[in-house]
Structure 1
Amino acid sequence: MKIGNSHDGSVSPPKAERATSRKSEATATTGNIQHPAKSAPAASAQVAISSAAKLAAAGTGSDDGSFDAAKVQRISQAISEGKFTVNASAIADKLVANAQELLNARANKH
Structure 2
Amino acid sequence: MKIGHSHDASASPPKAERSATRKTEAAATAATETAQQTAKAGAPAPSAQVAISSAAKLAASGGSDDGSFDAAKVQRISQAISEGKFTVNANAIADKLVANAQELLSARANKH
Per chain length, whose mean CA-contact separation is higher, i.e. which structure has more relative contact order (CA < 8 Å, sep 6+)?
2
1:93-108 matches, cutoff 5 A = 93-108=95-110
Q: RMSD of the TM alignment (CA)?
A: 2.9
Q: Percent identity?
A: 83
Instruction: Considering fraction of residues, name the structure with more helix.
Output: 2
Moved over 6 A (4+): none
Counterpart selection for 1:46 from 42, 45, 49: 49
| Alpha-carbon offset, residue 52 of structure 1 | 4.2
Where does residue 18 of structure 1 map in the other structure?
none
Structure 2 residues not aligned, in runs of 5+? 1-32
Superposed CA offset, 1:2-27 (max 9, x none): xxxxxxxxxxxxxxxxxxxxxxxxxx
The whole-number CA distance in structure 1 between the counterparts of 2:106 and 2:65 is: 25
Indicate the SS of the match to 1:39: helix
**TM-score, normalization by structure 1:** 0.52
Superposed CA offset, 1:65-90 (max 9, x none): 21111111111000000001111110
**TM-score, normalization by structure 2:** 0.51
Give the structure with higher Rg (CA): 1
Structure 1 residues not aligned, in runs of 5+? 1-34
